[in-house]
């Protein structure tokens, strides 16, 4: 079994989730091809660095992300830093010959994602991107139902990701709400997941037209040391939000199927509604992260009754049994992270490409670039794959 040294940049929530996952992999997946070792962690907060070593088991921690990228015992760098730092870290990791897993968005803008993709392609390293909802066992079952033709010809896809993390007007003006620090807003943070699942389940998009809105236009300036989900007070000085709270899009797949997409961080009600509906000529299905252990399936030819059937997750579906046996015994969000880390680890150990990698990230930002053009033109725009000739640092 090949040892794979893990370096991580950015020890916030997602950095800790990936770290826990790599610690769990030997317990969950005995048939793995790689043996993960937590080598080096970077974070700017001293308390987090201490926790990375004492609680999570990293050999060392540093405030210098370059030291992680250049560490001789690191084989793969996991990037969970703020969005606009991703490309610098990726470029350094690729230059050092390290494989790279990056949380989405790989870049804060389509151009930055293209630059990261080119750096990885030139270096010949294995890449991964954090589209973790692909790994939900029932999403994989949905892909099997679609791929087998059980739903017939796919005619429509409805994708949405509604989250409440930005609906509080007193939520502080962190990097997430500033285009120069976080890049675009929900079209990168949330819509990317929805479109990636559409690509994985149905195929590439050909044309889009869309709209955007910034619902909360001013937010309190954070005090020193505030977390990026922190809350200010009514009397605090404020600053402008410079990226979008809402993005909506109509689209047409290359197959001719129609699609609708919405994403928002400012709605009241849906707490983490990453959801999709797929409609075909012989059936339909629907999945929602808020009920990730349930898949709603409608196959009218299989019986006299009409309406959707609820399929409960269980160990008969891919990977579910690694976490819990039986049927209708639930798994959770971090279990999806563990599955994606396991598959990336195996890809690195085998020296094989990982899916989704930076190609999938590039496919999404090609859609995003068309959406941004549509915001300006108010018209339908063709999805044109971004090309290496367009790369600019």
- Cβ partners under 8 Å of residue 47, min gap 6: none
Task: Write the secondary structure of 37-89 as one string of H (helix), E (strand) and C (coil).
Answer: EEEEEECCCHHHHHHHHHCCCCCEEECCHHHHHHCCCCCEEEECCCHHHHHHH
Lowest mean pLDDT among 62-76, 222-236, 324-338: 222-236
- The pLDDT, as a whole number, for residue 393 is 43
Distance (Å, rounded) from C-alpha 112 to C-alpha 362? 10
Would you place residue 293 in the very low, low, confident or very high pLDDT band (cuts 50, 70, 90)? very high
Q: Which of 177-181, 304-308, 358-362 has the lowest mean pLDDT?
A: 304-308
pLDDT at position 228: 64
Counting other chains too, the contacts that 41-48 makes at CB distance below 8 Å and 24 or more residues apart are 41/7, 41/8, 41/9, 41/11, 41/15, 41/68, 42/7, 42/8, 42/9, 42/10, 42/11, 42/67, 42/68, 43/10, 43/11, 43/12, 43/15, 45/11, 48/11, 48/12
Residue 108 has pLDDT above 90, yes or no: no
Q: Count CB atoms within 10 A of the CB of residue 44.
A: 12
The per-residue pLDDT for 390 is: 55
Q: Which of 107-111, 261-265, 304-308 has the lowest mean pLDDT?
A: 304-308
- In the prediction, which pLDDT does 216 show? 97
345 versus 223: the higher-pLDDT residue is: 345
DSSP assignment, residue 317? S
Q: In whole angstroms, what is the distance from residue 345 CA to residue 128 CA?
A: 10
Q: Which of 343, 384, 389, 377 is nearest to 128 (CA)?
A: 343
CA 52 → CA 41, 61, 69, 92, 392, distances in Å? 7, 7, 17, 22, 35
For 245-277, write each residue's pLDDT tens digit. Answer: 999 999 999 999 999 999 999 999 999 999 999
Confidence (pTM): 0.94
pLDDT reported for residue 165: 93
For 370, the token pair is 């068309």
Average pLDDT, the chain: 94
At residue 303, the pLDDT reads 67
At residue 282, φ and ψ (nearest 5 deg) are: -120, 0
Please list, in sequence order, all residues whose beta carbon lies within 8 angstroms of the beta carbon of residue 240, skipping any fewer than 6 positions away: 217, 218
Taking residues 116-135, report their average pLDDT. Answer: 97
pLDDT recorded at residue 296: 98
3-state helix, strand, coil in the chain (%, to 5): 35, 25, 40
Q: What is the pLDDT of residue 389?
A: 44
> What pLDDT shows up at residue 107?
87
The residue-averaged pLDDT of 80-106 equals 94
- Please state the rounded mean pLDDT for residues 199-228: 90
Residue 108 near residue 188, CB atoms below 8 Å: yes
Give the pLDDT confidence of 148-172 residue by residue, as tens digits: 999 999 999 999 999 999 999 999 9
The per-residue pLDDT for 58 is 98
For the chain, domains (ranges, CATH) are 2-132 (3.40.50.720), 137-291+293-331 (3.30.360.10)
């Amino acid at each position: 079994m090949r040892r794979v040294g893990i370096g991580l940049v950015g020890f916030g929530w997602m950095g800790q989730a990936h770290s826990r996952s790599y610690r769990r992999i030997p317990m969950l997946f005995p048939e793995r091809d790689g043996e993960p070792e937590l080598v080096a962690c970077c974070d700017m907060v001293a308390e987090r660095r201490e926790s990375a070593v004492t609680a999570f088991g990293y050999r060392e921690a540093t405030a210098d992300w370059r030291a992680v990228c250049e560490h001789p015992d690191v084989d793969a760098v996991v990037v969970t830093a703020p969005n606009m730092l991703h490309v610098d870290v990726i470029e350094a990791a690729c230059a050092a010959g390290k494989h790279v897993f990056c949380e989405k968005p790989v870049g804060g803008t389509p151009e930055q994602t293209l630059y990261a993709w080119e750096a990885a392609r030139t270096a010949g390293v294995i890449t991964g991107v954090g589209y973790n909802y692909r790994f939900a066992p029932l999403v994989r079952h949905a892909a099997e139902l679609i791929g087998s033709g059980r739903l017939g010809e796919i005619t429509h896809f409805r994708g949405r990701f509604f989250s409440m993390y930005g609906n509080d007007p007193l939520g502080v003006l962190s990097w997430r709400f500033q285009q120069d620090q976080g890049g675009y807003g929900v079209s990168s943070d949330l819509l990317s997941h929805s479109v990636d699942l559409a690509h994985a389940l149905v195929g590439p998009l050909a044309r889009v037209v869309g709209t955007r809105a910034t619902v909360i236009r001013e937010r309190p300036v954070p005090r020193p040391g505030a977390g990026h989900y922190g809350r200010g007070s009514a009397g605090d000085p404020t600053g402008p939000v410079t990226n979008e709270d809402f993005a909506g899009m109509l689209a047409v797949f290359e197959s001719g199927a129609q699609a609708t997409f919405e994403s928002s961080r400012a709605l009241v009600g849906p707490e983490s509604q990453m959801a999709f509906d797929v409609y075909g000529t012989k059936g339909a299905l629907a999945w929602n992260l808020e009920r990730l252990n349930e898949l709603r399936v409608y196959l009218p030819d299989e019986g006299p009754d009409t309406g959707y059937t609820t399929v409960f997750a269980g160990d008969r579906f891919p990977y579910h049994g690694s976490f819990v046996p039986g049927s209708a015994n639930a798994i959770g969000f971090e279990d999806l992270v563990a599955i994606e880390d396991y598959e990336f680890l195996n890809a690195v150990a085998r020296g094989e490409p990982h899916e989704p990698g930076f190609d999938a990230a590039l496919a999404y930002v090609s859609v995003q670039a068309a959406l941004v053009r549509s915001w300006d033109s108010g018209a339908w725009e063709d999805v044109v794959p971004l090309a290496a000739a367009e790369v600019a640092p």
